[in-house]
Chains A and B, each alone.
Chain A
Amino acid sequence: MTKIHKSKWAYVVNLILLVLVIIWSIPIIGLLISSLRPQEDVLSTGWWTLFKNKGVITLDNYKQVLGGSEYTFVDSTGATVRSSGDNLSRAFMNSFTVTIPSVIIPILIASAAAFGFAWMVFPGRKFFFTTVVALLVVPLQIALIPILRDYQSLGLTGSYLGIWMAHTGFGLPLGIYLLYNYISTIPRDIFESAFLDGARPMVVFSRLVLPLSVPAIASLAIFQFLWVWNDLLVALVFLGGTSDVAVLTQRLANMVGSRGQDWHLLTSGAFVAMIVPLVVFFALQRYFVQGLMAGSVKG
């Protein structure tokens, strides 16, 4: 859409946005500053006082999160040992392994289903679609036990395949619903000409629908990515929490200690965990702009 230049509007628009953006970023700035302060300071003075008086800035919280917090324990010879725990690289790796297929697979299946619901006639179409919308509200907690039972008999517990399928299952309702909304608004004449030319639906889907739906697919990809990346419960139930498979969220959650005595590590942990989703967002952001082209195709 046209950007407005050189008008008084531009100033007003930017000013309103600036105010909103400042309000929105206050909590994040607070979190960022808190992550750079020693625990003592965080609990005794407000984070904004850092600007007023000489506060202490430290990277300790980040060091502990990235390098593993320092443990004291007594080994079997009776000597007291200090050592730091595992670093986060394994957890990052596990998170990627869990997340990437858990984003791509449901999007493939959901976009096909959305196309089917939007542009094909079949018995039970209304019923199935209503059910899909209704399933959006089902708390996934009620599915954990029956699915785990099925996984036990299939030998899927603790496998990556199991967790991808779980994330696919839990992510499909939103995926179908969002993509349906987009795909159903693609102008009818685009399909008419294709079908008249005798194209098979699979061809129409892969050659027309998928490319045209890039903006919607990109936004869905971001949400599904965020959901899977930040998920704790599904991973703990289907994958387990031993250190060889633990994902990032599990490591961060455990880092605060059994009774939460090291909660201040959550501040830096939140930023460490946030880097990847932000990169994904920035990487996909240009596809939203591609919507411009998709829009121009529509007439």
Chain B
Amino acid sequence: MKKVFFVVLIAVLTLPAVFAAGQVESAAPEAKTVTVFGAFVDEEARRFEEAIKPFEERTGIKVIYEGSKDFETLISVRVEGGNPPDIAGLPQPGLMMNFASQDKLVPIWSSLEATIDKNYAPVWKDLGSYKGTPYGVFHRVNAKSFVWYPKKAWAKAGYKVPKTWDEMTALMDKMVANGHTPWAVGLEAGGATGWVGTDWIEDIMLRTVGPEVYDKWVANEIPFNAPEVKAAFDILGKIWLNPKYVYGGKNTILTTSFGDAPRPLFDDPPKAWMHRQGNFITGFFPDRIQANLEEEVGVFALPAINPEFGIPVLGGGDQFVVFNDRPEVREFMEFLATWESGELWAKAGGALFPYLNQDLNAYPNEIERSLAEALVNAKVFRFDASDLMPAQVGAGSFWTGIVDWVSGKPLNTVLNNIQKSWPK
């Protein structure tokens, strides 16, 4: 009985060997493939795959895209573990610099560099470079310095789009006088709670002290507790910490998820009248609003504070970097640096692209077209500072500092703590 059992067991276990022997013969030469790993998933992943199909059809190279919500954790584990993808789409320049400083990345070669110089504004090449060597090619980007409002309700109430910060403040007071609440704000974002606040501070920094001081701030050449930064927090505090200006007051700011935040705009009558957020927020609008976006929603750029610096645009974006140098990988990177790689995605909506030679008519609605235009034509474009700062600050103490400040910690303590956390 026992013997029979073992004979059967061994027979079954040998079975795979037979299979394996058969396998060797059937192994056919495979098509060239390029693996791409990124942070966008689901519908966006599908749109990306669709957008690169022309490349696959033309070259016969197969591109395998893998997207994950846990991208940041996974990319570091895979790179450190010796299993990097051929190409990765990094949402933060800080991540690129981290890998570049460890010599994990393949620098951009000269022909691709020429394409980048031709197709992008210089700022994008700088953002993709570490110590003067370019590594990254930007693809989909976003623009954040925009204020969204319910168009129809505004028309009914007779509100006009403000041109300057003072006009905006006046408008806010007018709203309060009418019994309206100007802003809807939500900071909550799970493990990333606080980033909405860092965006506001960055926008105000750009508008009060200008891009050069902003760059110094990002590099910690002016400390985090400098008067300039403090002033930016004070300007923001005048809005956020005044319960008349923000729907629900500070408890709502702290506990509302950033995606749910704009919802009060679309109540009837609106419970809040303005919401500052990037272009991606439209995906969170209620379905009935999304269906008639152009009629329901208006958008304007967050106005200038100091006229000297005009209306800068704050944004972010994914840059593709190369881990494995192969001819087909290079070929795909060359493709990503051209408008062709973004066109179909732009048509589907939900994505902006930085290419200088892009066709603005590709965007499906007036809102996205105007945002793309603002992005390409911006005199000053700056990348989200929290993505540029060391992660300890940009994804750590800056986020939590904002939350501490809103929940009542003294500003000086908050800023000193952030400065202290800056890695030496």
Contacts and interface: CB of A to CB of B under 8 A. Distances in A.
Chains A and B in contact, CB within 8 Å:
yes
Interface string A33-71: 000000110010000000000000000000000000101
A148 B82 contact: yes
A76 B82 contact: no
Given A145-B81, A146-B81, A253-B70, 18 more contacts: A69-B43, A71-B46, A73-B46, A74-B50, A76-B53, A76-B344, A78-B347, A80-B347, A80-B348, A85-B42, A148-B83, A149-B81, A153-B82, A236-B68, A254-B41, A254-B68, A256-B42, A258-B42
A102 interface: no
B68 to A, nearest CB: 5
B287 interface: yes
Contact of A250 (B47, B68, B280): B68
Interface residues of B, number: 41
A249 B121 CA distance: 40
A85 B47 CA distance: 12
Interface in B31-76: 39-47, 50, 53-54, 57, 64, 66-70, 73-74
A233 B70 contact: yes
Contacts of B173: none
Given A157-B83, A237-B74, A261 B283 contact: yes
A1 to B, nearest CB: 37
A145 B280 contact: no
A144 B43 CA distance: 29
Given A43-B260, A43-B263, A241-B67, A148 B78 contact: yes
Contacts of A152: 81-83
A114 interface: no
A11 to B, nearest CB: 42
A255 interface: yes
Contacts, number: 116
15 contacts: A71-B47, A73-B43, A74-B47, A76-B54, A78-B347, A80-B347, A80-B348, A144-B81, A148-B78, A237-B74, A237-B77, A240-B66, A256-B42, A260-B259, A263-B259
Top-3 shortest CB links A-B: A148-B81, A254-B41, A74-B347
Interface string A234-258: 0011001110000000100111111
Interface in B65-100: 66-70, 73-74, 77-78, 80-83
A146 to B, nearest CB: 8
A39 B289 CA distance: 14
B344 A233 contact: no
A75 B344 contact: yes
B243 interface: no
A262 B42 contact: yes
B286 interface: yes
A153 B81 CA distance: 10
A272 interface: no
A261 B259 contact: yes
Contacts of A73: 43, 46-47, 50, 344, 348
B284 interface: yes
Interface in B273-290: 280, 283-284, 286-287
Nearest to A70: B43
Nearest to A78: B347
Contact of B66 (A78, A157, A242): A242
A257 B287 contact: no
B346 to A, nearest CB: 9
Interface in A208-256: 232-233, 236-237, 240-242, 250, 253-256
A236 B70 contact: yes
Contacts of B283: 257, 259, 261
Contacts of A39: 287
Contact of A76 (B41, B50, B263, B280): B50
A72 B43 contact: yes
Interface in A104-163: 144-149, 151-153, 157
A80 B344 CA distance: 10
B348 A72 contact: yes
A258 B259 CA distance: 12
A73 B47 CA distance: 5
Contacts of A71: 42-43, 46-47
B259 A254 contact: no
A112 B372 CA distance: 64
Nearest to B38: A258
Contacts of A241: 66-68, 74
A73 B39 CA distance: 18
B344 A257 contact: no
Contacts of A85: 42, 46
A16 B47 CA distance: 54
Contacts of B259: 259-261, 263
Interface in A64-102: 69, 71-76, 78, 80, 85
A254 B83 contact: no
B348 A74 contact: yes
In this complex, the member of A40, A78, A241, A258 whose beta carbon has the largest number of chain B beta carbons within 10 angstroms is A258
A90 to B, nearest CB: 15
Contacts of A75: 50, 53, 344
Nearest to A236: B74
A145 B69 CA distance: 19
Contacts of A255: 42
Given A73-B47, A148-B81, A254 B54 contact: no
A217 B358 CA distance: 63
In this complex, the member of A253, A257, A262 whose beta carbon has the largest number of chain B beta carbons within 10 angstroms is A257
Contact of B70 (A78, A149, A232, A257): A232
Interface string B190-208: 1000000000000000000
A40 B284 contact: no
A245 to B, nearest CB: 10
Contacts of A80: 347-348
A148 B77 contact: yes
B238 to A, nearest CB: 29
Contact of B67 (A43, A72, A254): A254
B245 to A, nearest CB: 23
A73 B70 CA distance: 24
Contacts of B263: 43
